[in-house]
Amino acid sequence: MMEETSTQNIDRRIQKAAEAFQFLKNTTVTERAEFMNAVADQIEVLGVELLEVTHQETSLPLARLIGEKARTVGQWRSYAKAVASGIYTEARIDLAQPEKQKGDLRKYNVGIGPVVVFGASNFPFAFSTAGGDTASAIGAGCPVIIKAHPAHPKTSQIMADAITAVVKAFGWPEGVFSHITGTSYEIGGYLTQHEDIRAVAFTGSFNGGKALFDIANSRENPIPVFAEMGSINPVFAFQNLLENKAEALAKEYSTSLTLGAGQFCTNPGVFIALKGKALDRFINALKEEIQNVAPATMLHKGILESFEKNRNIATEQTDIEIIASSNTDAENDQGSASVIKTNAKTFLNNPVLSEEVFGPFGIVVACETDEEIMKIAQQLKGQLTITIAATDEDVRNNPILINILKDKCGRLLFNGMPTGVEVVYAMQHGGPFPSTTDSRFTSVGPDAVKRFVRPVSFQNWPDEFLPDELKNGNPLQISRMVDGVMNSESLKLQTT
Amino acid sequence: MMEETSTQNIDRRIQKAAEAFQFLKNTTVTERAEFMNAVADQIEVLGVELLEVTHQETSLPLARLIGEKARTVGQWRSYAKAVASGIYTEARIDLAQPEKQKGDLRKYNVGIGPVVVFGASNFPFAFSTAGGDTASAIGAGCPVIIKAHPAHPKTSQIMADAITAVVKAFGWPEGVFSHITGTSYEIGGYLTQHEDIRAVAFTGSFNGGKALFDIANSRENPIPVFAEMGSINPVFAFQNLLENKAEALAKEYSTSLTLGAGQFCTNPGVFIALKGKALDRFINALKEEIQNVAPATMLHKGILESFEKNRNIATEQTDIEIIASSNTDAENDQGSASVIKTNAKTFLNNPVLSEEVFGPFGIVVACETDEEIMKIAQQLKGQLTITIAATDEDVRNNPILINILKDKCGRLLFNGMPTGVEVVYAMQHGGPFPSTTDSRFTSVGPDAVKRFVRPVSFQNWPDEFLPDELKNGNPLQISRMVDGVMNSESLKLQTT
């Protein structure tokens, strides 16, 4: 059981966060990067005790947790490096010129203010208490109030203690990081409504994310909510590719669909292709693959119940055929893989089939014509990812369709399965609504920092009072745009 | 009178815009920059006929209109230059590496989709039909549907014709730019609700902007609204500066307050200082200045009526003293300058006095103590600008206050009056709510383009099918981040 943080206690912590913001927004990118690297070090040395606790709380295999922990440490370090470079500071200096009315103008990005982060259950390290949202908010200069995920409270506490230890070691105000626990939905609303909160990051269900979005927008002063809310990540398989590689594709699809008991936001829940011999080959091969997938323990009872409920709802629709399911019976707490098949008309007319089923479950949509595939593309809601399984010739033959698919996702894959992400600059983990509330931002990769900054412009300020990022001497040696040109130089001006 | 575009006609134009988006999102930054420069050329050659029409419609002096037209042309050109550089494309390439799971990832920004722009009445060129919102949306790769401001329909039509001529000359789809006319509020809501619209830009009243914001967020798929909704742009005058320069400051304040009949979003509506001899000197000097300001014709009857109504409401509150008003009686359609005075307690407790009065009207708040000034700063709502009228010593003496003021605005001036903007990278025209709906973006300067893009990531795409911005050869020679390092080079890879 998890202790509920009282409302009074929440108020006190938000007050501390607001105070800490006055400190944090004046730290330099260098200081914040040092802090982030120290957090990485602190997490890195957490040993087998953490892994065992998390394994018990989440049922995720140790090997996966070791990898996720390394990724989390890497996230803090790579975001720290990006922050230190000044890329998210976007320092812009337009020097005084005779023809300018306003004289000297200098702009940079500051933290937007205290951020509430809601951790996800499926990534207890990388998307939770010490995950990417926390790292990117602190990198931006924002205090973080984490609402611990109730499915892994001990893991959350260990991670919170690690960050708090670094706050103390650095002598930073305690409000830089706060850990709030509780299971009630009301806490989320309370945090989002609080006047001192300036942004919200969330990973979870559509209902949860949309509720926070609506609360945030009905505040007296609305604030941004970055909610990642799920996706069916369709695979569009084209004819040439399917004919060439039906069996290999089935294996790849099955592996991606059932990885980690299918508990990934980027799980490819729908497979779309023309009906015919090649698709029949794919389905036959898929059947064998899925039959051999052993049931796996899911993250927690709630997820298992939702999975079974939503899978059964989908399977009980009309014009549905079960084409593959695991040969092994699921034991207690385990989710069992299955794939159903339907036709395009049913898929297009029954919105239930476009809902995410979080777990190892897929739908194959067998289309009569290219027009039906086009209709599915046009009707498709926003997705985190879309895969084009195609030969070069297929791509050349379908420019209009592929152009439309670009509008429907954040990441477009050519012949690859989407499960998982890569923590690099070029990753986009965020797609059009309803996959996320704001397709303009990513929650993975250093660019995640962008979510939590806003620009402030200084007009004719004496050098002494400018933030280091904008001072003539460029003491942080960051890259800046000076009169339209990027450089890392110091300005040889007479300081006033 | 303005012809109302019918709902049917609006639907047709949005349909055309959606079609044009499929074209426009695949244009390169170079092509869009060429288009924008051509629009600049087209507007530049519009001669005295345009100026006379606009002068008649807006009562703005010809000299001002000549300047605003030059600014508008300059906007198109400077945004074009920025777009061509690729800065808003933010191309990021992470090449395949042995340790990477996902292989080759490449991300760039594409246009978000069709954008509705609501022009402002107070800048018939720079913030209207061919203004900065239109230029930045097209620069981002988004078709624009302009809702013409009913106060200058002929001006709007001339500008629309200029842009349309360029669309034709380039052979681009007609839906790249559409001009919609009408006076009803319903049109705005209808446009904002339309499922094919992807973003809204608006400059005007709080009620107008907030209504669009609420409509956009209650859509089935919410979209961003960039509304600039007004600001009282406070001036905080500190003691040393006030003592040194009371009279000069009064002259500067009066000039800024009454420029263009006070019809600027950045008009400094409130002046805050400690009461005492220095403030008395300021007030005496201000009285003389304001008395000599001749009444000026306002933009249109609606603005004049709102101005007089809101000024009278403010003036009729309790504990208000009229300290200065123009010696000359206002004639028909003219607004007359005046300044009132109150104390901090009244200002803090009466929210009416923190409302923007759009026109030549100011409030001097005489504070008893530094604590009262601090309270005003803490209670202050979001502003476009704040001025610190201070000596260096004043700044050194008030670090906490100045730190708080940084949270309350987009542009912080040191000893200058805020009226007007400069179209440069370092300009920030956008502040915390309620001055705008989104403090993370600016509506002036090339960075305005950022509002209308979103990132798309390509995983393992053959070079042939990547957009030019991401191709190995870097045919557009834009600056890109490759494996974390910025450069404009072409990649020497084997193309697949």
CATH number of the domain enclosing B392: 3.40.309.10
Chosen for mutation from B88, B102, B486 (greatest number of chain A CBs closer than 10 Å) is: B102
Q: What is the three-class DSSP state of B135?
A: helix
Contacts of B80 in chain A (CB under 8 A): none
- Do residue A110 and residue B224 have CB atoms under 8 angstroms apart? no
- Beta strands B361-367 and B338-343: pairing type? parallel
Is residue A487 one of the residues assigned to a domain?
no
Whole-angstrom distance, CA of residue B470 vs CA of residue B458: 9
CB atoms within 10 A of CB A94: 24
- Do residue B107 and residue A454 have CB atoms under 8 angstroms apart? no
**Closest to B415 (Cβ–Cβ): which among A105, A107, A460?**
A460
Domain shared by B141 and B202, yes or no:
yes
Domain shared by B254 and B318, yes or no:
yes
| pLDDT computed for residue B183 by the predictor | 81
| pLDDT computed for residue A496 by the predictor | 47
Domain shared by B202 and B282, yes or no:
no
**B340 with B363: CB under 8 angstroms?**
yes
**Closest to A456 (Cβ–Cβ): which among B222, B412, B420?**
B412
DSSP class of A355: S
Q: What is the three-class DSSP state of B413?
A: strand
Chosen for mutation from B374, B395, B428, B443 (greatest number of chain A CBs closer than 10 Å) is: B428
Does the pLDDT value for residue A165 go beyond 70? yes
* Residue A308, token pair as written in the block: 């079974």
**Closest to A461 (Cβ–Cβ): which among B103, B400, B414?**
B414
**Closest to B440 (Cβ–Cβ): which among A404, A410, A454?**
A454
Number of structural domains in chain B: 2
Whole-angstrom distance, CA of residue A440 vs CA of residue A454: 14
| pLDDT 10s digits, B302-315 | 999 999 999 999 99
What residues have CB less than 8 Å from A483, skipping those under 6 apart? A93, A94, A95
Phi-psi region of A164 (alpha: psi -120 to 50; beta: other; left: phi over 0): alpha
| pLDDT computed for residue A332 by the predictor | 86
| pLDDT computed for residue A35 by the predictor | 98
**Is B107 part of the contact surface with chain A (CB cutoff 8 Å)?**
yes
**Active site (annotated) includes residue A228:** yes
Is residue A383 one of the residues assigned to a domain?
yes
**Is B124 part of the contact surface with chain A (CB cutoff 8 Å)?**
no
Domain of A203: which CATH number?
Answer: 3.40.605.10
- Which residue is closest to B400 within chain A, CA to CA? A22
- Which residue is closest to A442 within chain B, CA to CA? B455
**Cα distance from N-terminal residue to C-terminal residue, chain B:** 60
CA distance B198 to chain A (A): 10
DSSP per-residue letters across A243-255: HHHHHHHHHHHHH
CB atoms within 10 A of CB A393: 12
Percent of chain B surpassing pLDDT 90: 94
Does the pLDDT value for residue B1 go beyond 70? no
Is residue A491 one of the residues assigned to a domain?
no
- Do residue B410 and residue A25 have CB atoms under 8 angstroms apart? no
Do you know the residue count of chain A? Answer: 496
Domain shared by B185 and B305, yes or no:
no
Q: What is the C-alpha R_g of chain B?
A: 25
Helices B48-58 and B153-170 sit at what angle, rounded to 10 degrees?
140
Whole-angstrom distance, CA of residue A93 vs CA of residue A472: 9
What residues have CB less than 8 Å from B201, skipping those under 6 apart? B115, B116, B117, B118, B133, B137, B225, B226, B227, B443, B451
Whole-angstrom distance, CA of residue A62 vs CA of residue A67: 9
- Beta strands B409-414 and B177-180: pairing type? unpaired
Compute the mean pLDDT over every residue in chain B, rounded to the nearest whole number: 96
Residues 369-408 of B with CB under 8 A from A: 381-382, 392, 395, 400, 402-404, 406-407
Domain shared by A216 and A240, yes or no:
no
Contacts of B426 in chain A (CB under 8 A): 92-94, 105-107, 457
- Do residue A439 and residue B112 have CB atoms under 8 angstroms apart? yes
| Complex confidence, ipTM | 0.96
Rounded to the nearest 5°, which phi and psi values hold at A433? -55, 140
DSSP per-residue letters across B175-244: GGEEEE----HHHHHHHHH-TT--EEEEES-HHHHHHHHHHHHTSSS---EEEE------EEE-HHHHHH
The β-bridge partners of A203 are: A228
* Residue A467, token pair as written in the block: 């933030």
- Do residue A102 and residue B421 have CB atoms under 8 angstroms apart? yes
What residues have CB less than 8 Å from B263, skipping those under 6 apart? B122, B298, B299, B303, B358, B359
Q: What is the three-class DSSP state of A83?
A: helix
Q: How far, CA to CA in Å, does B217 sit from each of A218, A225, A231, B193? A: 9, 12, 20, 9
pLDDT tier, B184 (very low <50, low <70, confident <90, very high otherwise)? confident
Give the count of Cβ contacts less than 8 A between chain A and B.
206
CB-based burial, B222-253: b 16+ in 10 Å, e otherwise: bbbbbbbbbbbbbbbbbbebbeebbeebbebb
Is residue B449 one of the residues assigned to a domain?
yes
Domain shared by A198 and A246, yes or no:
no
| pLDDT 10s digits, A476-493 | 999 999 999 999 999 987
**Structural domain boundaries enclosing A406:** 235-414
Contacts of A231 in chain B (CB under 8 A): none
Does the pLDDT value for residue B436 go beyond 70? yes
| pLDDT 10s digits, B230-250 | 899 999 999 999 999 999 999
Contacts of A392 in chain B (CB under 8 A): 462, 464-465
| pLDDT 10s digits, B268-319 | 999 999 999 999 999 999 999 999 999 999 999 999 999 999 999 999 999 9
* Residue B442, token pair as written in the block: 């600016």
Fill in the amino acid letter for B288.
E
**Is B92 part of the contact surface with chain A (CB cutoff 8 Å)?**
yes
DSSP per-residue letters across B9-40: HHHHHHHHHHHHHHHHTTS-HHHHHHHHHHHH
| pLDDT computed for residue B2 by the predictor | 63
**Is B351 part of the contact surface with chain A (CB cutoff 8 Å)?**
no
Domain shared by B332 and B390, yes or no:
yes
- Do residue B217 and residue A221 have CB atoms under 8 angstroms apart? no
Residues 184-213 of A with CB under 8 A from B: 213
Is residue A421 one of the residues assigned to a domain?
no
Is residue A90 one of the residues assigned to a domain?
yes
**Closest to A442 (Cβ–Cβ): which among B217, B455, B462?**
B455
**Closest to B424 (Cβ–Cβ): which among A94, A222, A461?**
A94
Domain shared by B172 and B242, yes or no:
no
Whole-angstrom distance, CA of residue B246 vs CA of residue B173: 58
Whole-angstrom distance, CA of residue B181 vs CA of residue B163: 16
Domain shared by B403 and B447, yes or no:
no
Is residue A355 one of the residues assigned to a domain?
yes
Does the pLDDT value for residue A450 go beyond 90? yes
Contacts of A411 in chain B (CB under 8 A): 456-459
**B118 with B200: CB under 8 angstroms?**
yes
**Is B433 part of the contact surface with chain A (CB cutoff 8 Å)?**
yes
Q: How many CA atoms lie within 13 A of A429 on its CB side?
A: 29
Domain shared by B144 and B52, yes or no:
yes
CA distance A179 to chain B (A): 25
| pLDDT 10s digits, A324-359 | 999 998 988 999 999 999 999 999 999 999 999 999
Does the pLDDT value for residue A183 go beyond 90? no
Whole-angstrom distance, CA of residue B91 vs CA of residue B481: 6
| pLDDT computed for residue A98 by the predictor | 87
Compute the mean pLDDT over every residue in chain A, rounded to the nearest whole number: 96
**B431 with B386: CB under 8 angstroms?**
no
Is residue A425 one of the residues assigned to a domain?
no
Does the pLDDT value for residue A1 go beyond 60? no
**Is B454 part of the contact surface with chain A (CB cutoff 8 Å)?**
yes
- Which residue is closest to A422 within chain B, CA to CA? B102
Domain shared by B71 and B94, yes or no:
yes
- Do residue A406 and residue B456 have CB atoms under 8 angstroms apart? yes
| pLDDT computed for residue B239 by the predictor | 96
| pLDDT computed for residue A379 by the predictor | 97
Of the residues B228, B252, B356, B469, which is catalytic?
B228
Contacts of A406 in chain B (CB under 8 A): 25, 110, 456
CA distance B28 to chain A (A): 15
CA distance B296 to chain A (A): 23
- Do residue B462 and residue A414 have CB atoms under 8 angstroms apart? yes
List the helix and strand counts (H, then E) for chain B. Answer: 15, 19
CA distance A154 to chain B (A): 30
Does the pLDDT value for residue B100 go beyond 90? no
| pLDDT 10s digits, B19-76 | 999 999 999 999 999 999 999 999 999 989 999 999 999 999 999 999 999 999 999 9
| pLDDT computed for residue B496 by the predictor | 47
Chosen for mutation from A218, A454, A496 (greatest number of chain B CBs closer than 10 Å) is: A454
**Is B141 part of the contact surface with chain A (CB cutoff 8 Å)?**
no
Domain shared by B337 and B354, yes or no:
yes
| pLDDT 10s digits, A74-122 | 999 999 999 999 999 999 999 999 888 889 999 999 999 999 999 999 9
**Active site (annotated) includes residue B265:** yes
Whole-angstrom distance, CA of residue A238 vs CA of residue A386: 13
Of the residues A31, A142, A265, A367, which is catalytic?
A265
**Is A465 part of the contact surface with chain B (CB cutoff 8 Å)?**
yes
**Is A417 part of the contact surface with chain B (CB cutoff 8 Å)?**
no
| pLDDT 10s digits, B348-371 | 999 999 999 999 999 999 999 999
**Is A93 part of the contact surface with chain B (CB cutoff 8 Å)?**
yes
| pLDDT 10s digits, A405-420 | 999 999 999 999 988 8
Does the pLDDT value for residue A142 go beyond 80? yes
